[in-house]
Amino acid sequence: MKAINDYVVIKTIKEQRKVGGLLLTDTTDSDNRYKKAEVVSAGDQAGIINEGMVIMYDKHAGHDVRYEEVMYRVIKLRDIVLVE
């Protein structure tokens, strides 16, 4: 699988936050607008974004794609807000 143009294929990293002893999951953490993910494939116009990088992206961006029984998310380069 290879992304093209300015698209980036990512795999979301599940994060759990603790607030006052309570575990917050993705569904209960509505205050956080951004999610963490690992880059699986970056298109040829994706600039400095490379496979294996950990990024933060807008959680409303992109769409899900199932490939070989694994769920990935496809976003545009402009939806990436930071690289770790």
| Cα–Cα dist 84/75, whole Å | 17
Residue 5 has pLDDT above 90, yes or no: yes
Structure-model confidence comparison of residues 8 and 22, the more confident one:
8
**Tell me: the pLDDT tens digits for 9-61?**
999 998 766 667 666 665 555 667 899 999 999 999 998 999 999 999 999 99
Task: Provide the pLDDT for residue 47.
Answer: 87
The domains of the chain, with CATH numbers, are 7-83 (2.30.33)
CA-closest candidate to residue 11, choices 42, 34, 44, 36: 36
Task: Provide the pLDDT for residue 7.
Answer: 97
Task: Provide the pLDDT for residue 24.
Answer: 62
Give the CA distances from residue 66 to residues 11, 43, 69, 78, in Å, rounded to whole numbers and listed in that order: 11, 18, 6, 22
Task: Provide the pLDDT for residue 32.
Answer: 76
